[in-house]
Amino acid sequence: MPSMIGVSILCLALAPLPLQAAPKATKPSARPIVQQVIPPKTVYWMSAATQSGFGVGGKAPSAGDMMKMAMGGGSAGPMKLLNLDLGSKLPPAGPPTAQHFIPPAMTMGTALALKTPKKIVGTTAEPGDFERPKGRLLLFWGCGDTARPGQPVVFDFAKMAAGQVPAGLFGGEQVRIARGPSQSSWPTYGYWPNDDRGSRQSVPGDASLVGAHRVAGNYTPEIAFNLATDWMQGLDLRQAKLPSGALDLSWNGIPGTTAHFAQMMGAGGTGNEADGATIVFWSSSDSSTFVSGLSDYIAPAEAARLVGRKQLLPPAQTNCTIPKEAMAAAPTGLLTLVAHGPEENFVHPPRPADPKVPWVQDWTVKARYVSRTGGIAGMDMSAMGGSSSRRGKKGKPACQPNASDAMAEGLGGAVGGALGSMFGKKKKQPDCE
């Protein structure tokens, strides 16, 4: 007979195993609550620019301005420019009116009137006799004594006017530009400066934006905010022609700068009018860039991203060289330098701490800053009094035989006219002999 020990072992072996508890099912983690944001029905933008030298695209430089620039100096001093834009979806109580009440430090009175323009009525353009575009664009980019391999990239105006925009023309540009309120984007819009007599005053040189601001009107809630940031300092651009023919640019560093951008646009040619205009465009970007938003107002976060992509120069960099090949193609050109600046943003009411509560915004304000300067790259002093003094027998200016003479008459007009030839322009009888 089996021993008692053997029986015990056999019983234990045949005993059923204890049941184990099934693992608890894990609950899926709760999704984070995304707060609902209701955009404002009223937005207000303040664009503060500091302009030294002379502006490109604005008033043409006088002979005095060109003389100072050629001697290495700027204009009488930086100008302070201000643009105000108010957009609202709220219906006005009567004819739309609004005012921006300014701090005493602006020394421009108590308020600036924001005028609502009349609605634009579409008109049918009259058919005209257009010239076939002719000429070419030479595209350079990057800082350095010598142009990068493969430059310049050449584009034909006639093909571009026919809709054949080359893929490489804007290949390097991925700029995110925030657009402020305008007449076309908001039901009711007010702006300053406008064509009212009261807004024709220029901003005084000693004006300051720092302080309490308030906007009120019959199509906007009352907007109140305090600015701590003032106009940026002016840029002081210096030029030095290098023995190689390249043009070295240097400038002062400005507090608050987030990035820099430089560009040069000139008109060249063979001297034969049948060849058409030749536009030479150079930019400080490390990628192909042509008439881009890189000189516009750029938000600090976007500026930092573009510096990382080397489309903008870092804020600490204060020099750049235009390659000798670009200068040879356009010995005289319009030069622009931009120092992008900070922003101040306000939202009312503040964001609720509880993400379950929707953030219904009443109004927002954006104050943005930039500093710019302009100059003439490689202008020959003898060209200042050149062809502009030639007159015909009837007292009218002598007709310009080529783009070089037109540049002497007014560099800005020459470049603008050459750009117009990209897409064709209406034939115009010259008022000359």
pLDDT digits (tens, 9 = 90+) for 82-115: 999 999 999 999 999 999 999 999 999 999 999 9
* Residue 242 burial (CB count, 10 A): 13
Greatest mean pLDDT range, 82-91, 119-128, 159-168, 189-198:
82-91
Radius of gyration of the chain (CA): 31
Q: Given phi > 0 = left and psi -120 to 50 = alpha, else beta, which region is 343?
A: beta
> Cβ(50)–Cβ(81) under 8 Å?
yes
**Residue 70 to residue 57: CA distance in whole angstroms:** 20
**Residue 406 to residue 386: CA distance in whole angstroms:** 10
Model confidence at 359, in pLDDT bands (50, 70, 90)? very high
**Residue 401 to residue 377: CA distance in whole angstroms:** 23
Output the six-digit token pair for 181: 């309120």
Residue type, 423: F
Alpha helices in 145-244 (DSSP H): 157-161
**Residue 349 to residue 70: CA distance in whole angstroms:** 52
> Tens digits of per-residue pLDDT, 229-264?
999 999 999 999 999 999 999 999 999 999 999 999
Per-residue pLDDT, averaged over 145-172, amounts to 72
Per-residue pLDDT, averaged over 270-279, amounts to 64
What's CA 415's distance to the chain center, in Å?
Answer: 19
Confirm whether pTM is higher than 0.85: no
**Residue 70 to residue 64: CA distance in whole angstroms:** 10
What is the secondary structure of 272-326 as a DSSP string? -GGG-EEEEEEESSSS--SS-GGGS---HHHHHHHHHTTSSB-TT--EEEE-HHH
Higher pLDDT, 243 or 27: 243
What length does the chain have?
433
Per-residue pLDDT, averaged over 370-374, amounts to 95
Greatest mean pLDDT range, 288-292, 377-381, 383-387:
288-292
Residue 386 has pLDDT above 60, yes or no: no
Residue 178 has pLDDT above 70, yes or no: yes
pLDDT value at residue 70: 43
Residue 45 has pLDDT above 80, yes or no: yes
Average pLDDT of the chain, as a whole number: 78
pLDDT value at residue 57: 38
pLDDT value at residue 49: 96
Residue 269 has pLDDT above 70, yes or no: no
pLDDT value at residue 65: 45
